[in-house]
Amino acid sequence: MAKINGSDAMFKVLYEWNIDHVYGFPGGSFDSSMNAIHNWQDKIKFIEVRHEEAGSLAASAEYKLTGKVGVCFASAGPGAAHLFNGLYDAKYDHTPMVAIVANVPTSKQDIDFFQAFDEDKWFLDASVWCAQAKTAELLPVLMDEAIRQAYAKKGPAVLIISKDYGWQKIEDNFRVNYDAHVEDNYPAPTKASVEDAVKLLKEAKNPVVYFGLGAKDAGSELKEFAEKFKTPLLSSYLGKGIVEDNFPAYMGTIGRIGPKPANEIQSHADLVVWVGNNSPFSVLWFNKNAKVIQIDVDSAKFGKRHSTDVSMLADSKKGLRAIIDAGEDRMESPLYKASIADRENWDAWQASFKDSDESPVRPEPIWDVINKEAADDAIFAVDVGNVNVDQCRLLKMHDDQKLATSGLHATMGFGAPAALAAAEVYPDREVWQLAGDGGFAMMNQELLTMARYNMHILNIVFTNETLGFIQAEQEDESNQPLSGVILPDNDWAKVAEGMNVKGVTVRTKAEFEAAVKEWKKMDGPMLIDVKYTHKMPYSTELNSLDDPAFVKKYQAEDLKPFSYFADKYGMETDAATGASQHAEPEPDPEPDTTSGASRH
């Protein structure tokens, strides 16, 4: 029987799972596996990031973009510790990935040796599966297990390997279980659940659909549902892009980062068709008396965020299709008419600023260029901060465009690593990194990686000299003096040039458009530093259009409150609230001043 090094056997498993690249940063404790990377270089590409956190975030982003597990590695001690943000991002967003973590040789463990830790204890909470190989022979076995567990449990799997095991010779006889892996095949709904759902839908006055990432394969069904039953479509933040933004019944994302219509409409529903959505902030939304039809493949989600009247354990695509086929067409309700009008008013208001010559430049002119210039199959790697607000409201996704961001973990610095992953797995497509100056500052060293591998990435940094998302929280939620949010102005174009990336600074729409066109004609990466307005985005949390000061602050003279459209289309009070006419109204939730959570 032929012999093979333990680490080579481990990489052979990766190859036979059709994994052709890994992200990582070398270290002494990983030398045996670096030797395997050298041996496998013709089959598995090593993408050498400049920080281990970037590798783990890239691995998490890869599944979000492709549905295929991403792989990263780190050396013992500090290298391993740097993986946590990517692992928690994957765990919170239910993203399969694998992290290979080195440990010191077995003879040096448990004696307070250099960079030696009980790493399995570190990673138990950050993973859905974690194991440390007890023998060299287990390296290929556990690598195969790690990949299968990551897919099965929808999260990060961690394999810890001792340096000496990677060098040891073992028999080359492990049979990979790749052929046993099957695509997800979720159930169809029961007849009773479909009948119950159709009954509630027929009885409702003002139904809406609230969908999340679990509906990612059901975009066409969501649109057909909305058209047949005349239901506004609302989504979680991670649901953006499932239905193209220009679909008339799509009102956008509910929550602080979303547009005005979605936030206004949600409180007036008397029935919510809740599809593949587990947003933690949804406990703050919808009338407590509203009925709910919840479609999910995980029974633990039923009733978690709102009381549920019909629990439909089913694939979102199959569940929606069953209701569409069984239900009767509905006429447009007053809520539906008011919703369409509310969105049209909001869209017109935003569009009115697209050619603004305000300085520093407003968001609308810049995002107008992005919408016009981004290819129909462009990929957007979105960082965390106020960029999520602008992207959520102003980016008009369509066709085969894709988006990846850090959802529930919401880790700043996600944009650059996600862009690396996108450029690696889709080398023939445009990749746009969208980041604020706060988030970009955390992972800007990955410009070196982009330059090294000549990745065609456009890095757009919105420089507004503040941690804008936190500034708005301090101003609007906790009403405190600004503290710790101000950033120094920086010349990111010079930083980019110093890292061998073309850098351009722009201050106007015309300058930005010219820079984008230049990048589209060139190879490799570019960075555009947009000197951006310091004004905060429209506050959907306050949304006080009856307050002249609020209207003046946001130049919102052309916006109308939802009550205007509700009155215009004759919405009844009880139908508008979803509550009985004799019930006491629910009080508005108090501002969140204690948890530190941002209302996405």
Q: Pick the closest to residue 558 from 540, 567, 545 (CA basis).
A: 545
Of 176, 470, 485, 551, which one is the catalytic site residue?
470
Residue position matching structure tokens 């239905």: 243
Of 4, 71, 147, 256, which one is the catalytic site residue?
256
Of 30, 37, 49, 52, which one is the catalytic site residue?
52
By three-state DSSP, how is residue 595 classified? Answer: coil
Q: Is 53 a catalytic residue?
A: no
Q: Is 364 a catalytic residue?
A: no
Tokens read off for 36 = 């395997």
175 burial (CB, 10 Å; 0-12 / 13-18 / 19+) is exposed
Residue position matching structure tokens 């209302």: 599
Q: Pick the closest to residue 494 from 449, 444, 533 (CA basis).
A: 444
Length of the chain: 600
Residue position matching structure tokens 């508005």: 588
14 burial (CB, 10 Å; 0-12 / 13-18 / 19+) is buried
Q: Is 114 a catalytic residue?
A: yes
Q: Is 469 a catalytic residue?
A: yes
**Residue spans of alpha helices (H) in 156-259:** 163-167, 191-203, 219-229
Q: Is 224 a catalytic residue?
A: no
Tokens read off for 65 = 């973009």
Of 473, 495, 501, 506, which one is the catalytic site residue?
473
Q: Is 511 a catalytic residue?
A: no
- Answer whether 217's CB lies under 8 Å from 200's CB: no
Residue 141 φ then ψ, to 5°: -60, -45
Query: What does the alpha-carbon distance between residue 62 and residue 421 come to, in Å, rounded to a whole number?
Result: 6
Chain-centroid distance, C-alpha 121: 28
Of 46, 48, 115, 141, which one is the catalytic site residue?
115
Of 225, 229, 469, 562, which one is the catalytic site residue?
469
Of 41, 113, 114, 171, which one is the catalytic site residue?
114
Q: Is 302 a catalytic residue?
A: no
DSSP string, 305-337: SS--SEEEES-HHHHHHHHHHHSPP-PPPHHHH
Tokens read off for 260 = 């005005």
Q: Burial code of 496-528, b = ≥16 C-beta within 10 A, e = fewer?
A: beebebbbbbbebbebbbebbeebeeeeebbbb
Q: How far is CA 132 from CA 75, 150, 493, 550, in A?
A: 14, 16, 44, 57
**Neighbouring residues of 350: CB distance < 8 A, sequence distance ≥ 6:** 364, 393, 394
Q: Is 332 a catalytic residue?
A: no
Enumerate the active-site residues: 52, 114-115, 256, 384, 469-470, 473
